[in-house]
Structures are given as C-alpha cells and as structure tokens.
Amino acid sequence: METVLLIASQAFMVASHPAGYICEIKILALLSIICAILQLTKLRLPSWIKQYVRPGADIVPFYGCVIFSSILFIDDKSPFVVQTSMCFSLLCVAAIPIFSRMKLVAKGLSVIFVAGTISFYVLGCSFDTTKLFSNMPPLLLYMTHFSLFSIVFLVCLLSSPGSFSVGESILVSQMVTVLFNFTDSTHELEHSNKLMEISLVAARLTIFLILVSMSLFYFFNTTTTRTVIFYTLMLCVMVVFCILYTPWLIDCMLFAVKFLTSNYPQRMRLLMFWGFISILCLVFIVVRSRQGKASTMERKAFHLFILLVYIPGFMFDIPLLFICSVFVAIVFLVAGTMQAFQIEPVGYLLERQFRRFKSLQDTGSLVVTPICLLLGMSLPLWLSCAKDPDILVETHRLPPIASYSGIISVGIGDAMASVCGSIYGTLNFPKRRKTVEGTLASILAQVLFVYALSLSGNIDNGSSNIILAIIVGALIEAYTREVDNLVVPLLVYFLLDII
C-alpha cells in the first residue's frame, strides 16, 4: 500500500513536468523502481548492521531516496543540485545489498571520511560557500559533495546507533548537502534578503559544529573527553568567525534591532506571546518528568504548544516566524547533541527531563522525536521561502498552501490520529499499530483546518485536490515505520506543491 502511494506520487510529478528534465526523470524513475523491488523482496539486514539502524524502521530507504529529490525537482532548483542529490541516493540504494554481504566497511572508511571532510568544512563553512563551489572543477565538486554526503550518512548511523533508519540518514544527508550548496540564487539573496542570509550562515556553522563533533565523538567514548572536544570546537568556531566577519556581525546586529522595531508593537507582542507559550511548555516538561512515562495524549501536548506558535506566526508575521524557527531549530540540534553524548553539565539534565516523553521511535541515544517535530513544522516554510524569497520581504503576501504542510499533517493530522486512535480506535490497519478511526479523524481534522484557512483568507490558493494530498499523507502516516514527524510533512509539501 505504502509503495503504491509513493509510486503514484512520483508518476503524478513526472506527468506535471514532461519536458526539459529527461535526466532527472530517468534517475527518479530508476530510484523508484529499485526501492519498489527491494520493498517487494522483503530485504533483511544482517544482525551486525542492525545495531546501527533504528529497530523496526523500514529497511528500504524510499523516502530518503526519492522525496527530497522530488521537492528539489519541482522547485526548479539547479540541475546540478538535483542530479547530485539523486545520484548519491542511488549509490546508497545500490549499496544496501552489498552491505548485506560485507562487514563494517563503513566503520573503517569513516576514519578517511572524517579526515577529509574536516578539511572541507574549514573551507566550506566560510561566509560564501556558493562562490567557493562555483570556482571548483565539476569532478572536484562532485567529490566534495560526495564527501559531505558520506560523512553525514556515516555520522547518523555510526555516531548515534539506533537513532536513524537508512532512509532517514539519506534524507538528512541530502538536506545538509543542499544546505551547503544552496544554488547560485544565494548570491542574490545575500543582497536583497538579510533574513535568508543570516539563516544560511547560522545553519551552516551549526551543522559544521555538530558534524565535526559527532565525527570525533565516534573515536572518544568518555564523557569528559567529549565535553572538552565539544566546547573547544564551539569556542574556536565562534572566535574565528567573529574575527573574520566582525563588520558583517555588526551589520546583522543593526539589522536585528531595525527588524524587531519595524512592526512595533505587533511584533513584540507576538514575541511575548511565544515566550509565554515556551514557559508553559517548560513548566509542563518539568512537572510531568517527575511522574511515570507519558501517555500518547500527554506527548501530543507538544503539538498543541507548537501550533500555538506557528499558526499566529503564519497569520501575523511570517518573516519573524521564519527567523525564529531557524534559531530554535539550531538550539534543538545543539541541545540534542549534548543530550545524546552526555555533554556536561546539561546533557544528563536534558536526558532526565525528556526520558519520560520518549516514543517508540526514540530507541537510540539521540531523542529524535522533538527535533523531527520542529523540523517537520518548519521545513515546508523554509522550502517555500527558498523557492519564493519575496514571502519574507512582502509581509502582507499570502503564503502558498504548501507552506502549511507541517501544520496540516503533523500539528493537526498526526495529533488527531494519535489522540482519537488511542481513545476510540478498535480497527487496526493490517500489520500496523495505527487505527482506521484515528486516520479518519486525522483526515477530517485536516480538511476542516484547510477549509477554515480558506474562509479566513490566509492562503492564496485552494483546490479540491488538496483533499487528495491530505488523504495520501494520512495513509502514509498510518503505514510508515519512519519518523512520521519528518517524512509526512515533506511528502504533503511535495503533493501540495504540484497541485
């Protein structure tokens, strides 16, 4: 069922872009066919590699190989970026049967990748990565990006065993690779849109810090050593960047003051409201962590908190929501790294607070559910702004319906499916824990929310085909074994963007 839905989505996308993308269409078709064959053959990973993959996750990386590449494809990104993303995915898919016959080859190669990639990061994390990449010969450029893709893939599986599936590791690797090569349009954005520029630089520096730290953590097991490495790298990154780009940082500070006061007092009121919601969330975490394991309904309270942040942000101030979501995601990524590797003094504290809220998908050292919830809510907005930066400049412009994908599928749909399914669910899907009643409630809630958005005039387009995207997303959420907070919003974004 899941494979049929995904293949149908790919066919619809190809039919919508029949000409001018022959190479991309061929690669996507090949990826889809290979993943479908692997899915039907019931491929099983050997026991020695299962220790690195999240238990119970899908073995075939359909989502990681196809969905993000399709999003880049329909957004008309640079052909080089699209082809590179899909080619790397194809290599990983082709390597799955090989890994089933080989011992830990990746474990030995990781030493080479760490040494080579750290050198790449020192250059690649400069202020203007696109200028660096544009001056490279094509072969060296492919090798550089493959090095980046490979190190992210290996770090996800080896440094945090049990936290990611193969498909999720590929998906994360694609996103990081694209982040460091955000097409040639980045040059234009740096002059016309300061919000996008600040976000890109902050995200690149954070990913640099986390990946290099996790690469080194793989070779050092003691908490004290890891703590020293993490804070030393953080200090070095901050000091070097401040020294090299002092004028730019001063310019950013002046821009921040101007930005926060440009829509006064509405912008400050919105920030105060978000601060109040954050305090309520922290109080809930502290109080609930003193009790037993949280129930499904208690875990879904975080969906309510994040909806209270994102819905007002979409309605009143998308630029503020964009920049705040980027920096909150950075905080979550850094905090997740500190929690997973017990970085003193906050690592143990974070682990103790979030231990009660772990879901069935949080089987590794890294608690991925809250991070994926935030990314699932934010990625559709970030992708929409990357596709059309005018959304961040023209404050009164209505966002496309695709930018609401996270709110619709995760904030509304996933929460309603879990709550209604746990209370009223009696009929389970074949070989799945999800219930039919929960999925129906999810579809109904999402349709009503989109209808309310349409009546209030907060979306710039509407179509009866939106219901089809909602139904497909709800069924994928019911059937997938991946982290649905991350996978489903990207799939729904892809479907809404081609409608």
Q: Are 418 and 296 in contact (CB under 8 A)?
A: yes
- 197 vs 127, 128, 179, CA distance in Å? 10, 10, 12
Q: Give 368-399 as a DSSP string.
A: HHHHHHHHHHHHHHHHHHHH-THHHH-TTSPP
442-475 burial, b at 16+ Cβ within 10 Å, e below that, comes to bbebbbebbeebeeeeebeeeeeebeebbbbbbb
Report the alpha-carbon distance of residue 352 to residue 342 in Å, rounded.
11
Q: The whole model's pTM is what?
A: 0.83
Q: Are 64 and 31 in contact (CB under 8 A)?
A: no
Domain boundaries, the chain: 1-184
Report the alpha-carbon distance of residue 334 to residue 108 in Å, rounded.
27
Q: How many CB atoms lie within 10 A of CB 104?
A: 14
- Which residues 6+ apart lie within 8 Å of 335 measured at CB? 346, 350
Report the alpha-carbon distance of residue 92 to residue 89 in Å, rounded.
5
pLDDT in 10s for each residue of the chain, 499 residues: 555 555 555 454 444 454 444 454 555 555 555 555 555 555 555 565 667 777 776 655 556 656 666 566 555 555 555 555 555 555 555 555 544 444 444 444 544 444 444 444 444 444 445 555 555 555 666 666 677 777 787 778 777 888 888 778 878 887 887 787 765 444 444 434 788 888 888 898 898 888 888 878 877 878 889 999 899 989 988 888 888 888 888 998 999 888 888 887 888 999 999 999 999 998 888 888 777 777 777 788 888 999 999 999 998 889 999 999 999 999 999 998 898 888 888 888 888 777 777 777 777 788 888 898 999 999 999 988 888 888 887 667 778 888 999 999 999 998 898 888 888 878 888 777 788 888 999 999 999 999 888 888 777 655 667 888 888 888 888 887 778 888 889 888 888 877 6
Chain center to CA of 55:
20
